[in-house]
Amino acid sequence: MDSRFGQKKLPYILLLPSIIVSILFLYYPAIKSFILSLYKTAFFGMKKIFVGGENFIELFTSPDYLNSIIISLIFSAGVVVIGLAISLFIAVLVNQDVKGVRIYRIGLIWPYALSPAVAGTIWLFLFNPTAGLVNYITESLWGISPDWISNGKLALLMVIGAAIWKNLGYNIVFYLAALQNIPREVLEAADVDGASDIYKFFKITFFFLQPTTLFLIITNLIYAFFDTFGVIDILTKGGPVNATTTLIYKLFIDAFQNYKSGLAAAQSIILFIMVMGLTIAQFKWTDNKIQYGA
């Protein structure tokens, strides 16, 4: 034990609040969810019948649940790939030394401060089939007025767009910080050698952005799986015909509308294992491809 603490018990006393919070709000609920997933329940667990792994079997033989897995994968892929590509493009633009760039940066970051419900409401007004600004523009320019709410594919595109917009500021902040930490000497040397802008971006800039990109892939993946419930609930409520019912929304339906607590607990376990598995796979896949440090 480090002698600077003066006494051996002090470090444990300082850690005690964090340990208590972790046990009460992380480990205990996780254990309870696992136990509950082994039971059939009636109305918030007032009556329980032990069924072992039957809940998991029911889920993986349910067309609705399998469909929610596919929707979640499509949704998360859109949020991660398209969201990070747009964020990086915007971060490169606002990293330029132009007049009023600080105002642009603030304007781009503020959507992240909005709650999911507010972000969903804004997009609901924009994409309203009859009075929305988006349909007014499309009808004025091309004479078409898509029904973003009733068409399954368009509804999925809409919620992906809303989720990307909501998290855009978060991604831009990290990419902007990473861009400003790239050694100028390397870029100046490339200029002296006559390298093109495209070459500099893909061979130099993106090389230094790889650690940040890995971090953002993981955080955006977790965001897409866990933190987009509010946006989906406001915009489509999982519809039409389950076209936007992701895993987290399916869990909500079974837990708070169908009152199947055991089934919902099993879904939470599956969702946790999926995200954990994807995260571990991402780390292993990129372990030998990313260089940390200059």
pLDDT tens sequence across 40-69: 877 655 678 888 889 999 999 999 999 999
The predicted model gives 178-188 an average pLDDT of 84
Domain assignment present for residue 41? The answer is no
Of the given ranges (3-7, 108-112, 167-171, 290-294), which has the lowest mean pLDDT? 290-294
CA angle 45, 49, 55 (to 5 degrees): 85
Count of structural domains within the chain: 1
Structure tokens at 72: 């979640």
Residue 33 resides in a domain = no
CATH of the domain at 118: 1.10.3720.10
Q: Is residue 196 part of a domain?
A: yes
Confidence band of 127 (pLDDT split at 50, 70, 90) = very high
The identity of residue 196, as a single letter, is: S
Given a cut of 70, whether residue 289 has pLDDT beyond it is no
Q: Could you give the C-alpha distances from 31 to 26, 59, 124, 199, 269, in angstroms and in order?
A: 9, 20, 38, 51, 10
pLDDT number for residue 294: 46
Q: 52 in a domain, yes or no?
A: no
Percentage of the chain beyond pLDDT 70 is: 93
Question: Above 90 in pLDDT, residue 172?
Answer: yes
Question: What is the per-residue pLDDT across 16-27, written as a single tens digit (0 to 9) for each?
Answer: 999 999 899 888
Pick the more confident residue, 98 or 222.
222
What pLDDT does 72 receive? 94
For the stretch 80-118, pLDDT in tens is 999 999 999 999 888 887 777 778 777 888 888 888 889
Taking only the tens place, the pLDDT of each residue in 130-150 is 888 999 999 988 988 898 989
- Please say if the pLDDT value at position 212 is more than 80: yes
pLDDT of residue 69: 93
Report yes or no on 8 lying in a domain: no
Range of weakest confidence among 73-82, 172-181, 201-210, 262-271 = 201-210
Indicate the range of 17-26, 170-179, 251-260, 278-287 predicted with least confidence: 278-287
Whether residue 27 lies inside any domain: the answer is no
Q: How confident is the model at residue 1 (pLDDT cuts 50, 70, 90)?
A: very low
From the list 27, 17, 19, 234, the residue with the least C-alpha distance to 124 is 234
In this model, does residue 253 exceed pLDDT 50? yes
Flag whether 209 is in a domain: yes
pLDDT of residue 175: 94
Average pLDDT, integer, range 207-228: 89
Q: What CA–CA distance (Å, rounded) separates 6 from 10?
A: 8
Q: Is the pLDDT of residue 266 over 50?
A: yes
Q: What range defines the domain where residue 213 resides?
A: 60-286
Domain membership of residue 43 (yes or no) is no
Is 229:116 a contact under the CB 8 Å cutoff?
yes
Residue 216 pLDDT class (50, 70, 90 cuts): very high
Higher pLDDT, 184 or 242: 242
pLDDT at residue 2 is higher than 70 = no
Note the helical H segments in the chain: 10-22, 28-36, 54-60, 63-77, 83-94, 101-109, 116-126, 133-142, 152-180, 184-192, 197-200, 206-226, 229-235, 247-256, 261-286
